Amino acid sequence: MIARKIDSSSIAESPPYAREIWLYLIRSANHKNNSICKRGQTVRRYIDIREALKWYVGYRKCMYSVTQCENAMKLLVKAKMITKTRTTRGLLITICNYDIYQNPKSYESQFHAPTASATMKPQPCQTINKNVKNVKNKETTANDKYIDYFEIPRGIYPGTKRGNETEFDNFKQKHSDWKKVLPLLELAILKQIRWRKNTDGEFRPPWKNFATWINNRCWEDEVDAVSQKQPRLCQCGCGKEAHFTYGSEHYYSSEHRNRMKG
């Protein structure tokens, strides 16, 4: 059943995807406190919502986009129907006035047909979600590990970037070898940061958007060997790097300098 209170809320005139996501959140909310969240709360990621609300056109799988999920959350927060907090597990979503949606009176019709007597005994009120023991199964736990790992390179990337889940979804869609590539991203970004700091007066292009950097596989760019300053060599011809300067000449040691001046 759907609470009639929803019909008088601002979400009733919102796009269909927002209404469906709102109803899904109510269904997913805990009916009592547990070790993960409290009554009226649920922990979800956008990929969880999209997967739960998928549908099929023939054999083609369809899902709401990440942008639609984000917009629905903004509408619900603005309407003060939910609050959300980002955690390592995902979004901690709190249903505002959750008890209203668990009250049987919220589901009663406003118009009652006259009856001589009740022919059925009233059924006990049942909460929307009764068997919430674990928010994540093995599959979602493994995916959380990857998305948390992805947050490290995304966090240190200096260029423009979007939310972690949005960037991670793009990363997986663009590259079939993303699991193999994921451990390489952090080191590649750090190397490119060092390369950009050590300019030696040379031009360095601005940072790309993170999505562009990912799509173009820019972690494969070889920057260590690009435009490195050549070391100054000892003037005596020994071929060693100079560590002693005399005027405009450079020597490996004071002994070499004396040898050349002698």
Higher-confidence position of 4 and 205: 205
94 confidence band (pLDDT: 50, 70, 90): very high
Distances (CA, A) of 1 to 51, 145, 255: 22, 36, 93
Say which amino acid occupies 113. Answer: A
Is residue 17 within 8 A of residue 28, CB to CB? The reply is no
Model confidence at 188: pLDDT above 70: yes
Supply the mean pLDDT for the chain. 77
Average the pLDDT over 13-22 and give the result: 87
Q: What percent of the chain has pLDDT over 70?
A: 65
- Domains, the chain, ordered by start: 4-107 (1.10.10.10), 138-220 (no CATH), 230-262 (no CATH)
Place of tokens 């000892």: 234
Higher-confidence position of 234 and 97: 97
Average the pLDDT over 9-20 and give the result: 82
pLDDT given for residue 136 in this prediction: 47
Average the pLDDT over 117-135 and give the result: 52
The CB-side HSE value for 257 (13 A sphere, CA atoms) comes to 13
pLDDT given for residue 137 in this prediction: 55
Model confidence at 113: pLDDT above 90: no
Read out DSSP for 109-137? -S-----SS--SPPPPP--S----S-S--
Is residue 73 within 8 A of residue 80, CB to CB? The reply is no
pLDDT given for residue 252 in this prediction: 55
What gap in Å lies between CA 77 and CA 243, rounded to an integer?
A: 63
Closest CA to 98 of 25, 162, 171: 25
Model confidence at 1: pLDDT above 50: no
Model confidence at 221: pLDDT above 50: yes
Spatial CB neighbours of 184, under 8 Å, sequence gap ≥ 6:
219
pLDDT given for residue 203 in this prediction: 82
CA angle 158, 164, 166 (to 5 degrees): 115
Model confidence at 165: pLDDT above 90: no
Model confidence at 233: pLDDT above 70: no
Place of tokens 């200096």: 158
Distances (CA, A) of 17 to 13, 89, 90, 244: 11, 24, 20, 71
* The two three-digit tokens of residue 18, written as one number: 């927002």
Q: What percent of the chain has pLDDT over 90?
A: 22
pLDDT given for residue 134 in this prediction: 54
Give me the residues paired with residue 91 across strands: 44, 86
